[in-house]
Amino acid sequence: MTEIPEHLLKRAQAARERAGGAEGDAGGDESKIPAHLLERSKSAREQAAGGGSEVEAVPATGGGAVATATPPPVASGPGGHTQRLLTVVKSGSIQDVKLTPSDKVHVWPHLLIAEFVAALACLAFTVIFSVFVNAPLLELANFNETPNPSKAPWYFLGLQELLTMFHPMVAGVTIPGIALFVLILAPYVDNNPDKRPEGRKFAVALMTIHLMFWATLVMIGSFFRGPGFNFVFPWADGLFFEL
């Protein structure tokens, strides 16, 4: 059996109470009830009061009489009304559906197609660039002659620059280790779910400081270090940097 919602039961109970209270005030409420409904209810009451006990004698074929009773009247509601309005249920009021907005999309095809197109674009750019521009390759390395200045690749020039300022243990282990440890802890310290840059001020500031610190060291090691890895001005002494 289907369970009736509680709010519908309350509405039905209130309707029954209003109908029961209106029976005693029929004289005042007659003007609110349509005339054809009053006539129908009056005829139903008369039929229920006078026609329930009628017995009709039907002559039988054998010379006797057979008594037949009229069928009982149709069941009626309060006041003899045969039609009654229980309640008016608005569409959708029984099922309370709450839709929650979602900003998630499927990995396939939304994400993978975008990544595949981006990979094809990068590959096409690399191929076209390599056709028209030759790589700046140098001669074979001579292990008997060390170039001066001897610089690491650009992505390691930050560490090489730190080695000119601190002890190798501090420059090569302590400072990079602290930086990596802070970046690892950053998602746990700033657990803001907002994806807008203006809503993630702590994360944006931390990453900006990290990149600017490392970029500054790389630029100093690339353009401001000359023979003997000494500090020079590139506009005065020249540029000692090769890709």
Query: Domain tally for the chain?
Result: 3
* 159 and 207 inside one domain: yes
User: What does the pLDDT look like over 146-172, one tens digit per residue?
Assistant: 888 888 888 899 999 999 999 999 998
Shared domain for 151 and 178, answered yes or no, is yes
Tell me whether residue 61 is in a domain: no
Among residues 42, 50, 101, the alpha carbon closest in space to that of 73 is found at: 50
The verdict on residue 68 lying in a domain is: no
Residue 84: closest CA among 27, 44, 25: 44
Tell me, what's the pLDDT at 177? 93
Amino acid at position 84, single letter: R
Domain residues for the domain of 168 are 144-237
56 lies in some domain: no
Residues 232 and 165 in one domain: yes
Sign of CA dihedral 185, 190, 193, 197: negative
Kindly state whether residue 96 falls inside one of the protein's structural domains: no
- Quick one: pLDDT at residue 146? 84
* Contact yes or no for 66/57 (Cβ under 8 A): yes
Specify the pLDDT at position 111. Answer: 86
pLDDT for the residue numbered 212: 93
Burial class for 19, CB neighbours closer than 10 Å (0-12, 13-18, 19+): middle
Q: What is the reported pLDDT for 208? A: 92
Dihedral sign of CA atoms 25, 27, 30, 35 in order: positive
What CATH number should be reported for the domain holding residue 201? 1.10.287
pLDDT beneath 70: ranges in the chain: 1-2, 21-32, 50-102, 243
The answer on 210 and 126 residing in a single domain is no
Q: How far apart are CA 212 and CA 144, in angstroms?
A: 38
